[in-house]
Structures are given as C-alpha cells and as structure tokens.
Chains A and B, each alone.
Chain A
Amino acid sequence: MAEACLLLALVGVAAYTALGGADLGAGFWDLTAGGAERGGRVRGLVQRSMSPVWEANHVWMPFVLVILWTAFPEFFASIMSTLYVPLFGVTLGIILRGTAFAVRGQAATLAEARLLGALFAASSVLVPFCLGAAVGGIASGRVPTGNAEGDAIEAWLNPTSIVVGVLAVVVGAYLAAIFLAADAARADLPDLVDAFRRRALGAGAVAGAVAIGGLVVLRDDARQLYDGLTSGAGLACVLASVALGGGTLALLVGRRLDAARWTSVATVACLVAGWAAAQHPDLLPGELTLDEAAAGDATLSALLVSLAVGAVVLVPSLLLLYRLTLRGTLDQSFEPLDQRFRPLSSDDHPGRP
C-alpha cells in the first residue's frame, strides 16, 4: 500500500512538473520577452493561455504535500525542516506569483501591469529553482531523518541541487514554449507560433545539455543517484526520456505542435519516474526507506479509498477542463498586453452617454 501511495504522489509530482512547470515556464518567457512594446504580444499570449488553467495546474502541488504528510509523515517533517530555506523561497514565489498574475488581468495602466508582470515573472523563476534545489538535496542524500537535522544551507546549495534547480527552470520554459506555440497555432497567430517554436527548440537543446552535463556532476556529487540512473529501471526511464525528448524536437521541427505537447509531457514524466526508480526503495537515501516512512495500514487504506473515490469525480472534471481549453471554448480574445493600455476613447463605452 505504501507503494501505491508513493505512486500517486509521484503522479502528482509529474503532473505538477509538467503542468505547473509549464505555467512557471510561461513566466520565464514573460520575463525574457523584452520591453513592453516588443514583448506585448508574447505576454498577451501568456496571459490568455494561462488564465483558465493555472489554478487547477497549481493544485497538484498541495495535492502532493497532502499525500506526503498523510502517508509519509516522517519524510515530510524531515524534508520540510531541513530544507526550509528553499521551501520558504517556494512559498514566497508562489504567493507573489499567483497574486501578481491574478491581479495583472485587472491592471489599468501599463506601469501597473509592468510592476505586476515583473513580480509574476521573477517569482516564476524562483519557484522551480527552489523546488529543484530541494529535490536535489533529497536525491543526493543530504536530508537526514528528524527535525531540522540537516545542514540548512549545504542541503540545497550543492552541485546536485544547482543542476536540478537549473534543469527545473529550463524544462518548465521548454514545456511552456511548446504549449504556447500550440496555443498560438489554435489562435491563428503565426508570428507567435514561430516565436515559441524557436524558443522551444532552443530550450529543448539547453535542457538536454543541462541533463547530460548534470549526469557528470551527479557522478562526483551523488554517486548513489548516478548509479541508480545509469542501471536497471532508472536507466530505462532515462533512455525513454531521451527518446521522447528527441522525438519531441523532431515533431517541433515538423510543426506537429499538438503531438509535441503530449510527448513533451511524457518526457518529463519519464524524468520523474527515473528519479523515483534511482532512489528506490529509499525516500531519504541512506536514511529512511519507503516502508520505514509509511504511516499505518489504516491510514494508507483510508487515503487510497478516498483518493480512488475522489478520482472518480476529479478525472472527468479535469478532462472536461482540458477539453474545453484545448477546443478553445474558454479562450479569451487575444490582446497584446501593452495594447490594453492605450488611452480609452468614447468607443470603449458605447453604452454610456
């Protein structure tokens, strides 16, 4: 049962990495879009694509937290207390980002939108880096069991953490570029399709380079993790991820954007699976195994029952949301972000005297 709970948590992690990661990556493109005028169209597309789905995508994060603290309370307490610096960074980023994005839609002047946009975008880079750094700390065996037993700084400021943190930022940007290119194609905005296709190819190449370079770093810094990733199930996942990543690039070159959306998600899911396989059966390498960390059977079975019942309602609802989104039913009209703030004329309020 502990395996089943872990599997569900990993599904949540993969979903957050793919969907939440893409939203965070959209923030990265927002950040790097250039000045208000030049980046207006890019930001307009980001705003339009993210608005209906980002909350649902974000909820995967608390979903994972809840499974972890219910099914593996000791693991949860150990990582939260030792990795408190990056995880407070995550909370800070989440709150600034969510609020700034939610209210940017209501901003009335370019200066307001610029301030909120800068907050949104900067925190969109902070969150994946901090999460990646925390994962790096766990995977490289730097988090001991117990209440803040690990080194508060070294646990997340180390070669593995930096590699995983950078990889998280780049992978999010890569996913976002693919999703946004596909959205732009649906919205019939050929210039943005090209802009994001180029970004996707670039980010894909960088992500691949970071991943391969990262393996070299892991070899020295986290040997156990490296061995896990280069043998058995871990290796299979890594190879699948490489194949899917290559396939995605080919689809991008061939302009098959909707198919690339799916293969890119699968690429990321394989990465998460590879991490899990490399660490198995430890939750905290060398410290805490899955079975040691697991809650009692009564809790695990209650959790599984409620997750199963919940899934009956949740899965069709999620499918409905994504179907409506991908069909364009929830699409807002596209508006370059800087254009919204042109001076209002009497045409804008035809109903008013």
Chain B
Amino acid sequence: MLTGLVEAHALAGQTQALAGEAQPDLLWARELQALSFAVHIPLTCFGIAFPAMVLFAEGLWLRTGDPTYRALAKRWSKVMLIFFAIGVVTGTILSFELGLLWPEFMGRFGEVFGLAFALEGFSFFLEAIFIAIYVYGWDRLPPKAHLLAGVPVVVAGIAGSLFVISVNGWMNHPVGFDIVDGEVTNVRPWEALFNAYFWHEYVHMYLAAIMVAGFVVAGVYAAAWLRGDRSRYVRAGLVIPLTAAALAAPVQIVVGDWAAREVAAEQPVKLATFEGLSETTDGAPLTIGGWRRDDGTITGGIEIPRLLSLLAKHDPNARVQGLDSVPPDDRPGPINTVRFAFQTMVGIGSLLAALSVFYLGVWWRKGRLPRSRWFYRLVVAAGPLAIVALLCGWITTEVGRQPWVVYGILRTEDAVTHAGGLPWVFAVMVTVYAFLGAILVWLLRRLAARAPETEVPERIEAG
C-alpha cells in the first residue's frame, strides 16, 4: 500500500509537470459528470429491474388468460421502451463525457478497465435489439416466442449494469496493472474486471434498482388506488412491482452492511468521511445528524457510543481510522455532503425496509393488501424516496472517493481536460436535462391517463 502511494505521488507529480496549467473549472467538470450520472442512473434502474416485472405480468397472462395482465404488460413495455431509449442516449452522453472531461483518466487507464465497457457494449446491443423485437412484436409474434424475446432484455439489463459497476469498483479498488516509472504497464484486464469491489457494489446496486423501479411503478398504482380505483388492473399493477421491491428492501440492509465493512477495510478514509470521524478512535461512536465544523467536531448530532466500531468491524472496541490518518490534501473536500448523503441513504433505506416488512407481514398473515390510506400514501412517496436514496448512495461513494479518480493513484484534478468553456457546457446541459425531464414526466402522465382498454382488444373487467 505504502509503495503504491509513493508511486502514485510520483505519477501525480509527473502529470503535473506534463500538464502545465491546471484546469480552473475542475468543479464544473465534476458537476457536469455528476449531473449526467444523476440523470442516467435512475433510468438504468428500469433497464435492470423492470423487464423482469413486465415478463412476469406477461407470464401471468399466458398462464391465466386474463387480459388484465396482458394490458398491464403491454403498457409497461411501452414505458420500458421510453426509459430504455432515454437511457441509451444519456448513457451515450456519459461515454462521450468520460473522454471529453477526463482525457488523462481515459488515456492512461482506458486499457486497464476498457474491457468491462466492451462487454457492457454487447449487453447494450442485445438489449436494444430484443427490446425492439419485444415491444414491436406484441400481437405479431406467437405468444411464447414473444415472451422468449423478452428474456434477453432481462439478462442484458442485468449483465450491462454488472460490467459498468465493475469499472466503478475498479476506480475504488484499482488492480490489474503496475506502475513503473510513472507509466501504466503489465496490464491484466481480467484481473481489473473482477476486482474485489465489484461484488458488493453490484449486489447493492442491483437491489437498489429493484427498489427504485418497484416503488416508482407501484406508486403510480397506489395513487390510482387512493383516487378510488379498485380494479384488478390497478391491483395487479400495484402488487407485482411492490412485492419485488419489498423483497429487496430488507435484504438491502444486510448488503449495505457488507458494503460498508468492505469500505472500512479497503478505504478507511472514505468510511471516516461517511461518519465525519476526525480522529482515529478505539470504540468509535456513531453520530446521527448534526453538522461537522471545520475544527472536526460535530454539533447537534446524536452520538451513540461504540456503534461505529460495532458496525464497521463487528467489534465494539475496534479501532476505526479517522480523517487524520491522511494529510488534508488526501481527504475528500466536502465532508458534510458525503455524510448527509450517507445518512439520508441509510435513513430512507431503513424506512423503505420497514414499509416493506409491514406490507409483506400483512400479506403473509392476512392474505390481503393493507387497508390504511397511509400505507398507500407511503407507497406513492416510496418511489421518489428510493430515487433520492439511490442518488445519495452514489454521492456517498463517488464524492467519498475524492480527491482520487483512481483511488490512491490518480487525482481528479490531474485527470481533467485542459479544454476551456466548461461552465458554458454545464449551463447548456443543465438546460437540456431540465427540459427533457419536464417532457418525460409530462408524457408519462399522459400515457398513464389512457384507459387500459387501449392496449388490448378484450374488455378489462373492473373490480
């Protein structure tokens, strides 16, 4: 580790020498990248988790012959296609931005982690092909063949995200290469692909995707329920995605604990940032809420003794490394941002898990849906909350990774482009994303307002 750091400093120094002037608009490059991810990641959740729900509904139709399920699957497939299309373009933007904003990162390390993106490219391709066959093949392909055409969409959605997460895992836990005299050599691309961070990050993200897609879709039908619609269509539209999300949410807590312990072991400074822990401490406390001041103390939080040591190391007396273990330059800048993002994610995750356990409990014990209007109101809120938690999770891990783009090896400031005009580009992209977001919401509402009968020739029975 120590030699790695020494080499890293040598590399950083060399980059600086080559770079000449520093990028004054580094922050804009970071904000633009963050914005683009914030738009893209929630969309990908629908690519990862939604196709399975659509196929499940279609499978129910094939088994029962009930046109309600067919109308639901068909309607969902249209939404899936819109989300996929926008995911395709926002994902393309990201692949451009990696080069446009971070040429030093791509130029030096592209050969190390690029393989994962090549594999992701194939998943992307298959998804695009079969989503078209699936959505445009309704009523044109034989029912079984149609269902089969949906299977590659499910698989490719899961595989594609897996490879992308592998790259993020690698950025946090860079392996599969050596640095000799400041040059990246002896590249081992397969080792980089299956880095140790990949597994927990992936499972964590996969469950998050199920929660986001499940709660958002369920929320649409919970809103219809609150408006007094008790049709089988609304009931099925609520139960399928809600059950998927409710099964994922409690498991996510366990996986989150696994992920946090991996971070504690491999990136102790990042964990200290999550918690705002200034000094290395034996039996470290966990502080909920509050504001971390510049002197390193936290005001206004609730301190629970020894809990951090217990959670991070499963030992109440264990030593937890603090921010003081590295020089100030090697600490993520905005500690409070990371800390709030982390706590928001954990808070929302716990709330959603509680809601899920309640729902599953009522279903298990009484064999029916909860009747309280508050339950449905919470389900409506759960979708946006899940998206907030998702984004907070990414802020936690990505801002917490700073000041490194390749952890411990390449600093973000050394990876950035030397091109000018970044604030302008940022302003244009913000406008475009805001505009597109408005269009998307508006048109999805329009789609939702259409009666289910427009999807299938049969009459959908009410009640």
Asked if A99 contacts B436 (CB within 8 A), the reply is yes
> Across the two chains, which residue of chain B brings its CB closest to A112?
B443
Residues on the B chain within 8 Å of A90, using CB: 96
Whether, in the assembled complex, A88 has its beta carbon less than 8 Å from a beta carbon of chain B, the answer is yes
- Given contacts A62-B121, A66-B114, A306-B115, whether A73 and B436 have CB atoms under 8 Å apart is no
How far apart sit A59 and B91, CA to CA, in the bound complex (Å)?
10
Residues on the A chain within 8 Å of B302, using CB: none
Interface string of B126-148 (1 = CB under 8 A from A): 10111111001100110000000
Point out which of B104, B187, B454 has the most chain A C-beta atoms below 10 A from its C-beta.
B187
How far apart sit A220 and B232, CA to CA, in the bound complex (Å)?
72
Interface string of B67-98 (1 = CB under 8 A from A): 00000000000100110111011111101111
Asked if A321 contacts B132 (CB within 8 A), the reply is yes
Asked if B425 contacts A88 (CB within 8 A), the reply is yes
Asked if A62 contacts B99 (CB within 8 A), the reply is no
Residues on the A chain within 8 Å of B88, using CB: 55, 58-59, 98
How far apart sit A232 and B445, CA to CA, in the bound complex (Å)?
59
Whether, in the assembled complex, B103 has its beta carbon less than 8 Å from a beta carbon of chain A, the answer is yes
- Given contacts A84-B417, A351-B453, whether A95 and B440 have CB atoms under 8 Å apart is no
Find residues 415-437 in chain B having any chain A CB closer than 8 Å to their own CB: 417-421, 425, 428-429, 432, 436
How far apart sit A310 and B107, CA to CA, in the bound complex (Å)?
25
Asked if B136 contacts A74 (CB within 8 A), the reply is no
Whether, in the assembled complex, B27 has its beta carbon less than 8 Å from a beta carbon of chain A, the answer is no
Whether, in the assembled complex, B446 has its beta carbon less than 8 Å from a beta carbon of chain A, the answer is yes
Point out which of A92, A95, A310, A324 has the most chain B C-beta atoms below 10 A from its C-beta.
A95
Whether, in the assembled complex, A152 has its beta carbon less than 8 Å from a beta carbon of chain B, the answer is yes
How far apart sit A110 and B83, CA to CA, in the bound complex (Å)?
23
- Given contacts A69-B117, A310-B122, whether A106 and B82 have CB atoms under 8 Å apart is yes
> Across the two chains, which residue of chain A brings its CB closest to B107?
A77
> Across the two chains, which residue of chain B brings its CB closest to A150?
B419
Looking at A168-176, A267-275, A293-301, the stretch in contact with chain B turns out to be: A293-301
Secondary structure at chain B's binding surface: helix, strand, loop or mixed? helix
Whether, in the assembled complex, A189 has its beta carbon less than 8 Å from a beta carbon of chain B, the answer is no
How far apart sit A96 and B110, CA to CA, in the bound complex (Å)?
28
Asked if A299 contacts B107 (CB within 8 A), the reply is no
How far apart sit A69 and B443, CA to CA, in the bound complex (Å)?
36
Query: Nearest Cβ in chain A — how far from B289, in angstroms?
Result: 38
Residues on the A chain within 8 Å of B124, using CB: 59, 62
- Given contacts A52-B136, A302-B190, whether A70 and B114 have CB atoms under 8 Å apart is yes
- Given contacts A91-B93, A320-B129, whether A76 and B81 have CB atoms under 8 Å apart is no
Residues on the A chain within 8 Å of B190, using CB: 302
Whether, in the assembled complex, B111 has its beta carbon less than 8 Å from a beta carbon of chain A, the answer is yes
How far apart sit A101 and B89, CA to CA, in the bound complex (Å)?
11
Residues on the B chain within 8 Å of A79, using CB: 99
- Given contacts A77-B107, A317-B129, whether A95 and B100 have CB atoms under 8 Å apart is no
Asked if A351 contacts B117 (CB within 8 A), the reply is no
Find residues 68-94 in chain A having any chain B CB closer than 8 Å to their own CB: 69-71, 73-74, 76-82, 84-85, 87-88, 90-92, 94
Q: Which of A56, A98, A148 contacts B89 (CB 8 A)?
A: A98
Asked if A69 contacts B114 (CB within 8 A), the reply is yes
Q: Which of B84, B141, B420, B436 contacts A329 (CB 8 A)?
A: B141
Asked if B119 contacts A91 (CB within 8 A), the reply is no
Asked if B122 contacts A94 (CB within 8 A), the reply is no
Interface string of B386-414 (1 = CB under 8 A from A): 00000000000000000000000000000
How far apart sit A98 and B126, CA to CA, in the bound complex (Å)?
18
Interface string of B343-368 (1 = CB under 8 A from A): 00000000000000000000000000
Query: Nearest Cβ in chain B — how far from A106, in angstroms?
Result: 5
Interface string of A317-330 (1 = CB under 8 A from B): 11011001000011
Whether, in the assembled complex, B6 has its beta carbon less than 8 Å from a beta carbon of chain A, the answer is no
How far apart sit A65 and B100, CA to CA, in the bound complex (Å)?
12
Query: Nearest Cβ in chain A — how far from B232, in angstroms?
Result: 15
- Given contacts A80-B100, A91-B93, A313-B122, whether A147 and B107 have CB atoms under 8 Å apart is yes
24 contacts between A and B (CB under 8 A): A52-B133, A55-B128, A55-B132, A62-B95, A65-B95, A76-B107, A81-B99, A88-B425, A95-B89, A95-B90, A99-B436, A102-B82, A103-B439, A103-B443, A298-B188, A298-B189, A299-B115, A306-B118, A314-B125, A324-B133, A324-B137, A329-B137, A329-B141, A352-B453
